[in-house]
Amino acid sequence: MSAPIVLGIETSCDETAVGIVRGRTLLANVIASSVEEHARFGGVVPEIASRAHLEAMQPTIEKALTDSKLSLKDIDAVAVTAGPGLVGALLVGVSAATGLALGLDKPIYAVNHLAAHISVDFLTHDKPLDPTIALLVSGGHSSLLQVEDITSSIIKLGATMDDAAGEAFDKIARVMKLGFPGGPAIDLLAQSGDAQAIDFPRGLTTSNDWQTRPFDFSFSGVKTAVARYLEATPDYAKANVAASFQEAIVDVLLLKSVAACKATGIDSLVIAGGVAANSRLRALATQRCDKAGIRLRIPSPGLCTDNGAMVAALGSLMVAANRAPSPIAFDADSSLPVGVISLS
């Protein structure tokens, strides 16, 4: 039997994304972003995101089918992000996917957005990634996960206690008037700065923290420290601030990730999510994993941000593992726990 063709829909935030895969092969990955509509507000506005999804859904599906040279009758299964995310945005994707599954009489897999980010690795590597430690970093999530089986067993080791890494980037970029989204702007500016110029704090890295919360993150402290530095230093060097702030974030992310690998005895690390596109995170992760003897996998930058390919990939993995599809009627869950990989 040939590999199943799975269409994946992702609408958890401000990207309307549709991906199509055949087994491990990516056939189409189309993204319609509404980020420019949110930029003047300095962040994503849920109502605007939901309306943008409604407008973009049909043309995005059509473009994905065109790119893949397929028609709807070729689709074997549909996958969709059921959560976590903005509930209004999620509902648009869930409604579209449910309609497709009903109309085509095909199974539907309502999958977890966080697990999908990790699953995109499946499209670029032949060997399975299980078990692995996964560092998931984005605008809404910063988590360390132990992945025993991407289709059935993900254990949360730690998570952010306040701001996610991407959220911290956005907030400091707004203070520095760098625009939205803040991560790419800070990354670009930092490349001409000195990462050692300012010693910003590393959250949850005291000896007591390592004893009590070894795999949790906190970025509100460094965010506050940067804001105070900017206020107290009118003639600050923007590039140095960006580089030093970025270094503080990246340093903690990798300290905790390497520690999680050592503590569990798992010698592989997958870094996923929008912040995984950060050039300094990618470079420093390579250095530290090489030194620690850890096998590192990071998706290409284009597959780090929210996309439909990752949802289709997880759907394909669910089919291959003979996991039961989701019921045709299910609710979007804005706070879906990472341990719930698919609704059944």
Does 3.30.420.40 match the CATH number of domain 129-298? yes
Look at residue 104 in the predicted model and tell me its pLDDT.
97
Task: Name the residue among 15, 29, 22, 2 with its Cα closest to residue 310.
Answer: 29
Look at residue 151 in the predicted model and tell me its pLDDT.
95
Spatial CB neighbours of 137, under 8 Å, sequence gap ≥ 6: 164, 165, 166, 253, 271, 272, 273, 274, 275, 276, 281
Percentage of the chain with pLDDT > 70?
Answer: 100
Look at residue 140 in the predicted model and tell me its pLDDT.
84
Low-confidence ranges of the chain (pLDDT < 50): 1
Spatial CB neighbours of 313, under 8 Å, sequence gap ≥ 6: 8, 19, 21, 26, 116, 119, 120, 122, 123
**Residue 267's CB: how many other CB atoms inside 10 A?**
15
Look at residue 278 in the predicted model and tell me its pLDDT.
97
Span 91-132, pLDDT tens digits:
999 999 999 999 999 999 999 999 999 999 999 887 777 799
Beta bridge partners of 109: 79
Look at residue 46 in the predicted model and tell me its pLDDT.
79
Beta carbons of 76 and 5 less than 8 angstroms apart: yes
Residue 257 CA to residue 242 CA, distance in Å, equals 23
Tell whether omega for the bond before 234 is within 30 degrees of 0, i.e. cis: no
Query: Which CATH code for domain 5-120+304-320?
Result: 3.30.420.40
Which residue ranges make up each domain of the chain?
5-120+304-320, 129-298
Look at residue 293 in the predicted model and tell me its pLDDT.
98
Task: Name the residue among 304, 253, 287, 280 with its Cα closest to residue 191.
Answer: 280
pTM of the model: 0.94
